[in-house]
């Protein structure tokens, strides 16, 4: 079953390793069993789209259409499809599918699948007018949320949402958020909405007013104060969520953790020299998190709607895909492609 559709559609793809995005025409293909086709209403531009550009993983093959924060409407399903229907508002994030057979899949831990498919990396993503996705990678999205604001919730939002609820910190423990960018501005709001005492950590004073507006009760500017010492004055952070890829800063924050505290790495970053002595002295832990399942995406969107969390986005038309990609780090706070 399919709605009206063109014989070809526009997309932007990397054609070679390290090259720019180029417009291509993609031939329409009806979905095979286990797949559906979505008309893209919004697709977030994420820092990890670099994996597609630079072929960082072996599953990247060119041409590759990037994009894994996809919101749209179902326009075609195979006759075998039992869940998704033409006209439904849906989304698909980083998790693009799983094998159902490996040990992690057998325990229901699908995002750790040994053969996990990833939208925009192992398969074509949402920098396009249409995208074909696997049915187990689809999340239901409410019609009354702006697609551009919903798109980043399927990766950036889900990453911090899942991390905050899977760490050992419990409200009203102190949670510090390092970096006030695409992940960080959502982490502050979500942590506050969950009932944590929330502190924002940044490298300048430029985002202080916004961080306090988002729900931070304190703002520590690393260019003016020792952030770890300031956290200790508050009793220490039970969790420090590191959302900005700055290993030089991250390694200085360990001393600011409370006993049994956790340093949670959420940003794709380089090597950091972490002081190990405090980990022994305070029973500290270092952990990480990477997005989640489609059902967890639905839970994230439900939580955001219920708690009034707002995604700050800068929208770009699809024809400005390269410009949006170039501004993925400087946009306030997530760049999103829209029709």
Q: Residue 29: which CATH number?
A: 3.90.180.10
Kind plus residue range of the DSSP H or E element containing 105: helix 103-106
In a domain, 297, yes or no: no
Query: Domain containing 215 — which CATH number?
Result: 3.40.50.720
* Co-location of 113 and 201 in the same domain: no
* Co-location of 100 and 21 in the same domain: yes
* Co-location of 110 and 228 in the same domain: no
In a domain, 296, yes or no: no
What distance in Å separates the CA atoms of residue 41 and residue 70, rounded to the nearest whole number?
8
Boundaries of domain holding 247: 157-288
Radius of gyration of the chain (CA): 20
* Co-location of 79 and 195 in the same domain: no
- What's the average pLDDT block by block, 10 residues per block, for the chain (339 residues)? 88 98 98 98 96 95 98 97 97 97 96 96 98 98 97 97 97 97 96 98 95 97 97 98 93 97 91 91 95 97 97 97 92 91
Report the Cα 300 to chain-centroid distance in Å: 11
Q: What is the pLDDT of residue 261?
A: 98
Task: Kindly report, residue by residue over 152-209, the tens digit of the pLDDT.
Answer: 999 999 999 999 999 999 999 999 999 999 999 999 999 999 999 999 999 999 999 9
In a domain, 239, yes or no: yes
Burial (CB < 10 A; 0-12, 13-18, 19+), residue 259, is exposed
User: Are 336 and 45 within 8 A, CB to CB?
Assistant: yes
In a domain, 305, yes or no: no
* Co-location of 121 and 226 in the same domain: no
* Co-location of 69 and 161 in the same domain: no
* Co-location of 184 and 130 in the same domain: no
* Co-location of 137 and 164 in the same domain: no
* Co-location of 165 and 274 in the same domain: yes
Burial (CB < 10 A; 0-12, 13-18, 19+), residue 301, is buried
In a domain, 295, yes or no: no
* Co-location of 244 and 121 in the same domain: no
* Co-location of 176 and 284 in the same domain: yes
In a domain, 302, yes or no: no
* Co-location of 88 and 126 in the same domain: yes
What distance in Å separates the CA atoms of residue 336 and residue 314, rounded to the nearest whole number?
6
In a domain, 293, yes or no: no
In a domain, 2, yes or no: no
Q: What is the pLDDT of residue 4?
A: 85
Report the number of distinct structural domains present in the chain: 2
pTM, entire model = 0.95
Burial (CB < 10 A; 0-12, 13-18, 19+), residue 41, is buried
């Amino acid at each position: 079953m399919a709605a009206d559709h063109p014989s070809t559609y526009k997309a932007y793809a990397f054609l070679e390793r390290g090259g720019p995005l180029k417009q291509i025409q993609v031939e329409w293909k009806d979905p095979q069993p286990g797949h559906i086709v979505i008309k893209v209403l919004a697709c977030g531009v994420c820092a990890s789209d670099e994996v597609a550009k630079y072929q960082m993983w072996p599953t990247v093959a060119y041409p590759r259409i990037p994009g894994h924060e996809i919101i749209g409407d179902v326009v075609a399903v195979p006759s075998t499809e039992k869940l998704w229907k033409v006209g439904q508002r849906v989304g698909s994030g980083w998790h693009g599918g799983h094998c159902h057979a490996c040990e992690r899949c057998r325990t229901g831990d699908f995002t750790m699948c040994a053969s996990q498919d990833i939208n925009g990396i192992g398969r074509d993503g949402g920098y396009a007018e249409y995208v074909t996705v696997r049915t187990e990678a689809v999340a239901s999205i409410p019609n009354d949320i702006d697609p551009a604001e919903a798109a980043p919730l399927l990766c950036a939002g889900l990453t911090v949402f899942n991390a905050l609820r899977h760490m050992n910190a419990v409200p009203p423990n102190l949670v510090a958020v390092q970096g006030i960018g695409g992940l960080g501005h959502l982490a502050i709001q979500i942590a506050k909405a969950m009932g944590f005492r929330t502190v924002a950590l940044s490298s300048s004073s430029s985002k202080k007013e916004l961080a306090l507006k988002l729900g931070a009760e304190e703002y520590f500017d690393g260019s003016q104060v020792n952030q770890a010492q300031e956290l200790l004055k508050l009793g220490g952070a039970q969790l420090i969520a590191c959302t900005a890829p700055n290993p030089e800063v991250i390694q200085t924050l360990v001393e600011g953790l409370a006993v049994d505290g956790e340093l949670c790495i959420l940003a794709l970053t380089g090597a950091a020299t972490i002081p190990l002595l405090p980990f022994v002295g305070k029973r500290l832990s270092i952990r990480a998190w990477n997005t989640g399942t489609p059902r967890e995406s639905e839970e994230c969107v439900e939580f955001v709607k219920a708690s009034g969390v707002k995604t700050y986005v800068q929208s770009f038309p699809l024809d400005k895909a390269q410009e949006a990609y170039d501004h993925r780090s400087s946009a306030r706070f997530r760049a999103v492609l829209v029709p």
